[in-house]
Structure 1
Amino acid sequence: KTVNALSHYTDWTVGHVHSGALGWVAMVSIGSIYHLIPHLFGQKAMYSTKLVNVHFWFATIGVVLYIVAMWMSGVLQGLMWRAVNADGTLTYSFVESLEASKPFYVVRFVGGCFVVAGMLIMAYNTYRTVSAPKGSLVPEPAAA
Structure 2
Amino acid sequence: MAEKLPFGKGASINRPPLFCGMNYRFWKVRVKIFVESIDRGIWDTIENDPFVPKVQKDNVFIEKPWSQGTKSESKKAQFHCISKNIITFALNSNEFFRVSECASAKEMWDILEVTHEGTNDVKRARKHAIIQEYEMFRM
Normalized against structure 1, the TM-score is what? 0.27
Normalized against structure 2, the TM-score is what? 0.28
Which one has the bigger strand percentage?
Answer: 2
Which one has the bigger helix percentage?
Answer: 1
